A and B are shown apart, each in its own frame.
Chain A
Amino acid sequence: MIALLIRDLRLAMRAGGGFGLGLAFFLLVAVLVPLGVGPEGSTLAKIAPGILWVGALLACLLSLDRIFALDFEDGSLDLLATAPMPLEGVVAVKAFAHWLVTGLPLTLVAPVLGLLLNLPGAGYGWLVASLALGTPALSVIGAFGAALTVGLKRGGLLLSLLVLPLYVPTLIFGAEVVKRGAEGQAVSTPLLLLAGITAGAAALLPFASAAAIRVNLR
């Protein structure tokens, strides 16, 4: 399991891994939105939580199809499926690796982008907290979508169509945490619900993803 994690991280870091694309996309969203909405600070401050969460979500979406597609094409997925570790574990580890190279960096640079979007001072801590709690769910749910579409050519668009509706609860609770935090309200309810979704998704979805991969390999 650890070997698989290290391999996936190594592949992401080396040339051609696409590492950093998501970050660049996230930055672009934070730059383009003020250009479209106007420079007024109070407007930006109001929409900053939503923009940052939607941006993180779309940035995460960019790299989802790589979770399994590369391993499927070069035959590794067949070999992993016959290897002495449960496919559910393989899915969970690969989703975790995806989070380490997309969700975690997004979480870390989000405060800088919050600055660009004039996020109120009280919101920064909650921005980081909500992304840290919520982005793992994005990776796990995304891995499920990637598992469903792994055998398909040009599955990328379909993957977005399947995964984005599943992101709705995470997005709502995540953005709500930041919004309430920025306004100085109590955040514990949405924060707990967000954590609940992440925990539930991480515990249960690998089983559905592994089932989907088995179907796609046969």
Chain B
Amino acid sequence: MELRVTNLACARGGLTVLEGVSFTLRPGHALVLRGPNGIGKTTALRTLCGLQPALAGEVSVPPESMAYAAHADGLKATLTVTENLAFWAAVYGTDLVEDALQRMNLDALRDRMAANLSAGQKRRLGLARLLVTGRPIWVLDEPTVSLDAASVALFAGVIRAHLAAGGMALIATHIDLGLDEAEILDLGPFKARSPRDGGPASAFDEAFT
């Protein structure tokens, strides 16, 4: 299985932000999406995960193969670290909680309420959720926010292990994760074009012509 994206176009708030995004991701490989703020990285990732419809283009793999890690970690403050992870493990039907706790270095915090974690620890817990999904394609939106250097290295190691096991990773980030083997896709600035210059037409464009 490989992830092939062809000519993807997506919109945010009714405004087209990306057009003609194409790439191929093979098992064992990672792709880093780069580009300035507001270029549409998050929108592209949400589109791939099926959270919003694409305006155009094709994605060869259904969203069911992807595990999405967004800006927000989806943690419940009044649940413990283990309870938070065990919930997602039950949802995805896996028993990888112990493994995830060990690998994300959360073992010592296992019975602590998520409310009492530091920002970086919360982030580690949020990323540990990827490990219990058992899904092959990780879709990561700025995964290293609030992580210290040691945690970034730890997480880079986790990604490497995932790739080595035949997984794939799609990462939107500004920060160098130290994944030298990752390919890089620079998203160019998208210029809105009028329909006359070949831009996408809105239903309201011709109302008064």
Asked if A and B form a direct contact in the complex, defined as CB atoms under 8 angstroms apart, the reply is yes
Q: Verify if A157 is at the interface (C-beta below 8 Å from B).
A: no
Q: Verify if A186 is at the interface (C-beta below 8 Å from B).
A: no
The contact of B78 among A3, A14, A78, by CB within 8 Å, is: A14
Q: Verify if B90 is at the interface (C-beta below 8 Å from A).
A: yes
Which residues on the A side are within 8 Å of B71 (C-beta)?
75
Q: Which of B49-57, B144-152, B169-177 contacts A (4 or more CB under 8 A)?
A: B49-57
Closest-by-CB residue of A relative to B66 is A82
B78 and A82 contacting across the interface, CB-CB below 8 Å: no
Complex Cα distance, B76 from A10, in Å, reads 11
Which residues on the B side are within 8 Å of A15 (C-beta)?
78
Smallest distance from the beta carbon of A71 to chain B beta carbons, Å? 8
Q: Verify if A79 is at the interface (C-beta below 8 Å from B).
A: yes
Q: How large is the interface on A (under 10, 10 to 19, 20 to 34, 35 or more residues)?
A: 20 to 34
B73 and A7 contacting across the interface, CB-CB below 8 Å: no
Which residues of chain B in 88-120 are interfacial with respect to chain A, using CB atoms and an 8 Å cutoff?
88, 90-93
A11 and B93 contacting across the interface, CB-CB below 8 Å: no
Complex Cα distance, B73 from A74, in Å, reads 7
B68 and A82 contacting across the interface, CB-CB below 8 Å: yes
Q: How large is the interface on B (under 10, 10 to 19, 20 to 34, 35 or more residues)?
A: 20 to 34
Closest-by-CB residue of B relative to A78 is B70
Complex Cα distance, B46 from A217, in Å, reads 10
Which residues on the A side are within 8 Å of B52 (C-beta)?
217-218
Q: Is the interface of A mostly helix, strand, loop or mixed?
A: helix
A74 and B74 contacting across the interface, CB-CB below 8 Å: yes
B70 and A83 contacting across the interface, CB-CB below 8 Å: no
Which residues on the A side are within 8 Å of B58 (C-beta)?
none
Smallest distance from the beta carbon of A114 to chain B beta carbons, Å? 34
Complex Cα distance, B83 from A80, in Å, reads 16
Smallest distance from the beta carbon of B81 to chain A beta carbons, Å? 14
The contact of B91 among A10, A71, A85, by CB within 8 Å, is: A85
B79 and A11 contacting across the interface, CB-CB below 8 Å: yes
Which residues of chain A in 66-118 are interfacial with respect to chain B, using CB atoms and an 8 Å cutoff?
71, 73-76, 78-85
Binding site for A on B (CB under 8 A): 46, 49-53, 63-64, 66-68, 70-79, 83, 86-88, 90-93, 129
Please name the 8 residue pairs, one residue from A and one from B, whose CB atoms are nearest each other, closest first: A75-B72, A3-B90, A218-B52, A76-B74, A14-B78, A75-B74, A79-B74, A7-B87
